[in-house]
Amino acid sequence: MPNPVLFTPHRVAGLELANRIVIAPMCQYSAQNGCMTDWHLIHLGQLALSGAGLLTIEATAVSPEGRITYADVGLYDDATEAAMARTLEGIRRYSDIPIAIQLAHAGRKASTEKPWLGGKQIAPGQENGWQTEAPSAVPFVAEYVPPSALDPEGLIRIRDDFVASAKRAANIGIDAVQLHAAHGYLLHQFLSPLSNQRKDEYGGSLENRMRFPLEVFDAVRSAFPAGGPVSMRVSATDWVEGGLAVSDVVAFAKELEARGCDAIHVSSGGLDAKQSIPVGPNYQVPLARAIKNAVNIPVVAVGLITEPAQAEAIVATGDADLVAIARAALYDPRWPWHAAAALGGQVWAPSQYLRSQPSQYKNLFRT
Ligand SMILES: Cc1cc2nc3c(=O)[nH]c(=O)nc-3n(C[C@H](O)[C@H](O)[C@H](O)COP(=O)(O)O)c2cc1C
């Protein structure tokens, strides 16, 4: 296939991506007191050689209480900033891949055990546990200790935490910020009527439920350097009757676009344990298409996109501008190389690896 769209460049605000492949954010639960460790240098280092157009750093907490687990990465003080700067310095020495960071607060889904140790809530007062905060005192599952409902001062504190983290990200040379409003974490908890039962101006109507995520967006947008993309990751549906629906998220995306948001990354689910998700290849692509039809900013599709021809079809038909891969990139960190070989595209490779180019793929590598 000559000139695959997947390997054409794409501009997101002031950032030029070499191709349409994004490495999605993936928590590693391998930090110490919020600080990145050598694991992150190995993990992000290998993905920085993947040839993707953009590498997204995992959900990074804007405060210690915003972490999903005690082993999450944070960017909330000088120590966490220094640890991330050290990781980035190592990566930047050998790769100029654009790097985004996903800034997050887990809200009522914070204070849990690492997934491979069961992932359940750790109650406040127990080792590695703390009291969670959320729009309303409604727990994620009935047996969990309920979160505290945030008061107006709490909202300002968390908004300012997002801003401070975004400034730290800019300080250490991160190219783009993605705000996490998906998968049932704090900003999504405000959007969904299932988790947001507030009676003030932050709850009730869709306009009210969007208010806090939009305030956070506005504040981060004005704090992050002009031209540096600020995007939003959304869950386009809760997959639960009475929950957030795609029409709500289309309205949210339009409002974000009007306020200067640079891209929308379309995922789904994660808010309610009753969700029923029709998982399969491309299962979230129709959601990306629905948002793409409503906005003019770049839209990213994600979710079981594992084959080069599948990814090419998504961008070539215009269902989305970019595709993100997560598990496929862990399984095969050079997925973009293999996709370029399969489709007839070109990818960047480091000089040290140029001799690996298989003889049947002429001009696969761009140095
Ligand atoms: C190990 C792992 C960690 C993840 N961590 C995050 C995260 O930090 N933030 C996020 O928004 N999604 C996270 N996700 C979801 C992925 O970004 C992605 O949306 C999901 O895995 C579906 O894409 P895939 O089918 O290509 O894996 C994670 C997924 C995996 C497998």
Q: Is 29 labeled as catalytic in the residue annotation?
A: no
- pLDDT for 367: 78
Domain residues for 171? 5-366
| CA 199 to centroid of ligand 1, rounded, Å | 33
| CA 321 to centroid of ligand 1, rounded, Å | 19
Query: Which residue CA neighbors atom 1 of ligand 1 most closely?
Result: 26
Tell me the three-class secondary structure of the chain, residue by residue: CCCCHHHCCEEECCEEECCCEEECCCCCCCCECCECCHHHHHHHHHHHCCCCCEEEEEEEECCHHHCCECCCCECCCHHHHHHHHHHHHHHHCCCCCCEEEEEECCHHHCCECCHHHCCCECCCCCCCCCCCEECCCCCCCCCCCCCEECCHHHHHHHHHHHHHHHHHHHHCCCCEEEEEECCCCHHHHHHCCCCCCCCCCCCCCHHHHHHHHHHHHHHHHHHCCCCCCEEEEEECCCCCCCCCCHHHHHHHHHHHHHCCCCEEEEECCCCCCCCCCCCCCCCCHHHHHHHHCCCCCCEEEECCCCCHHHHHHHHHCCCCCEEEECHHHHHCCCHHHHHHHHHCCCEECCHHHHHHCCCCCCCCEEC
**Which residues lie with the beta carbon below 6 Å from any ligand 1 atom?**
24-27, 58-59, 102, 180, 182-183, 233, 267, 302-305, 325-328
- pLDDT for 1: 59
Catalytic residue (choose from 29, 70, 76, 185): 185
| CA 314 to centroid of ligand 1, rounded, Å | 19
If one residue of 27, 75, 116 were mutated to test the ligand 1 pocket, choosing by the most ligand atoms within 8 A of its CB, it would be 27
Number of domains in the chain: 1
Quote the Cα angle for 332-336-342, to 5°: 100
If one residue of 26, 188, 277 were mutated to test the ligand 1 pocket, choosing by the most ligand atoms within 8 A of its CB, it would be 26
Low-confidence ranges of the chain (pLDDT < 50): none
| CA 240 to centroid of ligand 1, rounded, Å | 20
If one residue of 327, 330, 331 were mutated to test the ligand 1 pocket, choosing by the most ligand atoms within 8 A of its CB, it would be 327
Q: What does DSSP say about strands 10-12 and 15-17: parallel, antiparallel, or unpaired?
A: antiparallel
| CA 24 to centroid of ligand 1, rounded, Å | 6
Q: Measure CA 361 to chain center.
A: 33
pLDDT digits (tens, 9 = 90+) for 159-168: 999 999 999 9
Query: Which residue CA neighbors atom 18 of ligand 1 most closely?
Result: 326
Query: Which residue CA neighbors atom 22 of ligand 1 most closely?
Result: 303
pLDDT digits (tens, 9 = 90+) for 211-230: 999 999 999 999 999 999 99
Residue written as token pair 């689910």 = 269
CATH number where 57 lies: 3.20.20.70
Query: Which residue CA neighbors atom 7 of ligand 1 most closely?
Result: 26
